[in-house]
Amino acid sequence: MSKAARVAVIGAGIVGASIAYHLARRGASVTLYDRGREAGQATEKSFAWINATWGNPEPYFRLRVLSMGEWRRLEAELDGTLGVVWRGCLMWDLPDHELEAFARRHAAWGYDVRLVEREEIAALEPGLVAPPERAAYAAGDATVEPVAATRALLAAAASLGAAIRLDTEVTDLRPGGLGADVCVLAAGAATSALGAKLGLSLPMRPTQGLLAHSRPAAPLLRHVIEAPGLHMKQERSQIVAGADFGGGAATEDPEAEGRRLLALVGQHLRGADALEPDKVTVGTRPMPADGMPVVGFAPGLPGVYLATMHSGITLAPAVGRFAAMEILDGARIDMLAPYRPERFARS
């Protein structure tokens, strides 16, 4: 396809913004649509931890590691406007034997992770009230402020000629109906419903996650922390805390859950015993049914390209670059082979 191809991107989250930017940088005529504001759904409510950890089969781990490198490339390309902070992560929310197996496996794959003992943990994170006996330390992990990064990508896309149409509901998703050669569905959990309008079956099992953002606080944390029942990080002048759960009572009273999480932060961290919530968000993670990304042209729907995944923050730079290559060059990126939408048609 010509680099001057007309491409419509549906979704102004981090994945859609990255795809729009990479397409525009390659010379495509890009129009991005979203029925709301930029980063207004899953991206805004993401913990935004850039990593390649936890329970990943090796091919998926490799994709995530590659995309961590793509974040560095993208930061340099956009003159540091994305605001990535390479702060590292300390994790001890697994039983000791599982933590050891995790560190050993990922280190064997080449990941920058090692086990550290209490004395070194205390030196790495001096604010901890009671450092654990042992933790896994992933020095190369990063975080990003997700809304600011999305806005920076959209601004960069617009500077290259992309049209950004927010608060715009799209009713005809066919490429021709949008005056485009290709339509990219990158609308997170809503991608399944959009695909259904075109006769596409894309099974999803979205899950919920709650985050509590504190009112402004002094710098208290140096790293991402994954402790039992709590993950937390410093984001500018705020502490952001969350926990994995399936919804239920926590989403029935999110303000109470947010206060509980910040109280738990106070038990772990010196100087955090009086944190008050600034906002509490409940987000829906766009999780495909098998937990893996869905990226590629939709079977039987010429010109329709899908890009939805839970780990959108980590994967956005790589997916953006690869999607542009597949759409504009007709390439088939081998690393994306396990994540094609055809796998659901086969099942």
Structural domains of the chain, ranges and CATH numbers in brackets: 6-77+145-203+288-346 (3.50.50.60), 89-142+206-285 (3.30.9.10)
- Per-residue buried b or exposed e for 8-40, using 16+ beta carbons within 10 Å of the residue's own CB: bbbbbbbbbbbbbbbbbbbebbbbbbbbeebbb
Non-local CB neighbours of 126 within 8 Å, separated by 6+ positions = none
pLDDT in tens, the chain (347 residues): 655 699 999 999 999 999 999 999 999 999 999 999 999 889 999 999 999 987 789 999 999 999 999 999 999 999 999 999 999 999 999 999 999 999 999 999 999 999 999 999 999 999 999 999 999 999 999 999 999 999 999 999 999 999 999 999 999 999 999 999 999 999 999 999 999 999 999 999 988 889 999 998 889 999 999 999 999 999 888 999 998 755 444 568 999 999 999 999 999 999 999 899 999 999 888 999 999 999 999 999 999 999 999 889 999 999 999 999 999 999 999 999 999 999 987 54
Q: pTM of whole model > 0.85?
A: yes
How far apart CA 138 and CA 343 sit, in angstroms, is 33
Which amino acid, one-letter code, is at 148?
Answer: A
Phi-psi region of 46 (alpha: psi -120 to 50; beta: other; left: phi over 0): beta
Strand partners, 242: 211, 231
